Structure 1
């Protein structure tokens, strides 16, 4: 291929800029042209496209968010919208596309591939919920943001003898809650992958108080329920008072960690290599520390691996 495009779609994640930078510079290194598509699939349909040079991606590796901007686009879920996108790509002479994003972004990329337009997916989401890859771009940064918040909230919890519920992101996957809970020493972690018993949580808190522990931290993934809902359940069913902190979109922002910068750079470069050799319909991932490529169908047919052993350990260490 002589010219490829790159876009970011869905929720932003730290490291997306590093991935964009890698795509642009790897392609130019191999004498290819690169077009940046702004505002995701919405921008693709509207022809919001600009050729990118080396200087356009300078000084962005350390920045959170995405230089190409992002947007959710319901119209692109329909074939008519997808054909509009392909029309714009052909008009610009773009032969292949790198899509950086999560599950919804991958579905759009697969649709384009099925219509004869080769795409490669790069996993950019803080939820770490893409099947087929051990880690996604942005997960490590978001995790460290959550841990930093837990440490700060624990200072207040300790000072005032209070129990805090901290709500973190994770609609269908509990990786962020689990890793943060274990690393932050939380007394309880609630994830979408495992049903919970409110009386078990209450019993854990009460046992802690009996041995003199007057504060505690409960981590709940948003896919389980909101922090406020859990607060009401604990009050109504166990007569336990708690305070709630919802971390919200702070988890998505911030300068990416070294790990996310390196991972994004490796994955972005791998995506270009795939398109250079006309391998569309692929997703890029990391397995056992090796950068790999696998069919999009594996993403949607596979099941995200939740670490049951780590979850068990978090319970054992929070007695």
Structure 2
């Protein structure tokens, strides 16, 4: 293998730059040429390549976002788009490709693998919604960003004796809400993986008020419902003063945590080793505590479940 490419795709996540850095420097260490593909599969189809050197990834491990930029690309979902991307890689003399992203990015990587390009995926998404990995790149940072916001919201909730509904990201996965809710001492956590009753949420609020509690935090994963709707419902059915905060894309930005930098560095270096060993169509991951690789087909077919013991624990502690 003489030349590999690296790209970031889908939603950005803190730690993507650390992954690109690790891929670049590990490849150079092994005497392999590296190019970066800007703007994900969109940039692949148009040949937006940039040579990667030791200096091009200097001073990037601490930066959020992605220096290669990212974009979503509907045309690449078609056989024609995938064939075009394959042709661009062939003409550029690229032997292997590392794709940092989520489920959709992996499906694009798998398509290229089936066409003959050796591909390895790195799980990069704040949602933590990819099967067969203990944590995705960016998840830990997003949780810490959200918990910092929750701590500040609780200060003002206490001062004004209010109930706050806080909506966090996660698409259809409740991992961010589970971890932030438990770490932030939320009274209720609403996630898509566990059915909930607004009557139960109200009973908890009223029980707290009855024992003298002056404020409450309700954590809502975006896949479980809109924070504004839940806040409106609570205000109408309790008479409490309710405020709603939607944290939104603030959770994607910022410097990656030490944990995400280490994870991204491990996986980026391992991805290059897999390519050098002739592997393809796999995700590099830390799964059940071990650095390993998993076929894309296995990733796609495995049902991913969050650790719902955290939910049960939060219910117990919020008594």
TM-score class normalised by the smaller sequence: over 0.9
The number of equivalent residue pairs is: 319
1:246 CA drift (Å): 0.5
Does residue 207 (structure 1) correspond to residue 218 (structure 2)? The answer is no
Q: Is residue 199–residue 238 contact of structure 1 (8 Å, CA) maintained in 2?
A: no
Q: Deviations over 1:209-264 (max 9, x none)?
A: 00000100000000111110111222344444410001010000000111100000
1:12 aligned onto 2:12: yes
For structure 2, the 5+ residue unaligned runs are none
2:120–2:271 contact (8 Å) kept in structure 1: yes
1:287, 1:36 → 2: CA distance?
27
Task: Tell me if the contact between 1:128 and 1:173 (Cα under 8 Å) persists in the aligned partners.
Answer: yes
In the other structure, the counterpart of 2:252 is 252
Q: Distance in 2 between matches of 1:43 and 1:268?
A: 21
Q: Could you report, residue by residue, the CA deviation over 1:34-57 in whole angstroms, capped at 9, with x for unpaired residues?
A: 110000000000000122111110
CA drift at 1:289: 2.5
What residue number does 1:57 align with? 57
Which string of whole-angstrom CA distances, capped at 9 and with x for unpartnered residues, describes residues 12-59 of structure 1?
A: 000000000000000000000111000000000000012211111000
Please tell me whether the aligned partners of residues 2 and 33 of structure 1 are also in contact (alpha carbons under 8 angstroms).
yes
Following superposition, the deviation at residue 170 of structure 1 comes to 1.0
Output the CA distance in 1 between the equivalents of 2:287 and 2:76.
Answer: 31
Residue aligning to 1:182: 182
Following TM superposition, the consecutive aligned residue runs of length 4 or more in structure 1 with deviations greater than 6 angstroms are: none
- Superposition CA RMSD, Å: 0.9
Q: Give 3-state SS (helix, strand or coil) of 1:90's partner.
A: helix
For 1:32 and 1:129, locate their aligned partners in 2 and report how far apart those are by CA, in whole Å. Answer: 32
Which residue number corresponds to residue 98 of structure 1? Answer: 98
1:132-171 correspondence runs (5 A):
132-171=132-171
| Distance of 1:61 and 1:84 partners within structure 2 | 32
- TM-fit CA distance, 1:278: 1.0
Does the 8 A contact of 1:231 with 1:241 survive in 2?
A: no
- TM-score, normalised to structure 1's length? 0.98
Cα distance in 1, alignment partners of residues 260 and 186 from structure 2? 24
State the alpha-carbon separation in 1 of the partners of residues 115 and 87 from structure 2. Answer: 12
The answer to whether the 8 Å contact 1:6/1:20 transfers is yes
Please name the residue that 1:227 is paired with: 227
Aligned to 2:309: 309
2:38 maps to what in 1? 38
TM-score by length of 2: 0.98
3-state secondary structure, aligned to 2:176: helix
Contact 2:133/2:288 (8 A) holds in 1: no
Measured against aligned partners, the alpha-carbon deviations of 1:96-150 in whole angstroms (never above 9, x if no partner) come to: 1000001111111111112222210000000101000010000000100000000
1:167-203 Cα offsets, whole Å, 9 max, x none, are 0001111000000000011111001101110000000
Q: CA–CA distance in 1 between the matches of 2:253 and 2:195?
A: 30
Give me the whole-angstrom Cα distance separating, in 2, the residues matched to 1:197 and 1:236: 16
Secondary structure at the aligned position of 1:165 is classed as strand
Q: Is the Cα contact below 8 Å between 1:202 and 1:240 reproduced in 2?
A: no
Structure 1 residues without counterparts, runs of 5 or longer? none
